[in-house]
Amino acid sequence: DALPISWLVALVVGSGDKASLTTPTIVNGERLPTSNTEPQPRLSIDEQRRRILIERWGMIQGANAELLIALAGPFREALRNELPPEQFPFLAAAKLMDVLGVSSDAVLRQRVLRCRNTIKRLAKQAGDVEPSPDLIIENSPWHGYRINPDRVRLIAGSRRD
């Protein structure tokens, strides 16, 4: 029998802030080892209010939140299906453009860059080192975009607000 998804989230929450093993990343469609010193951001997604809280770093809203919410769907599905990180799907650029209502690849790339820059700014304001561009959003030519399954952890949101 499969474990309930709530049990999986509890395990993820308890995983800590740093990776304990060297974990892979995607570069030009190939998985390469990365440093184990990069943080593992914990994201809480509030789809009703259309915002994302990155634990310790702060809140993302607006177009940046819309991008992350769109990428969270396939990420959550892969979690439910208990896929290994290398099998987490990428969302094709054309599909992501459709979901976000953007008109061209260039506009989509600009949207991703702005979101990455916002994440970088939040990390630096929190006193952390500048994260790599693909810490939260990975992209692979010919495959598309996804939330980085080797680094990002989804956690339940706070019930306080």
Pick out the chain residues at pLDDT < 70: 1-37, 157-161
What Å distances lie between residue 1 and 4, 81, 112, 118, CA to CA?
9, 13, 39, 41
- Whole-model pTM: value is 0.75
**Interval 100-120: pLDDT, tens:** 999 999 999 999 999 999 999
- Helical spans, DSSP H, in the chain: 5-13, 62-80, 93-100, 105-125
**Biggest CA pair distance of the chain:** 45
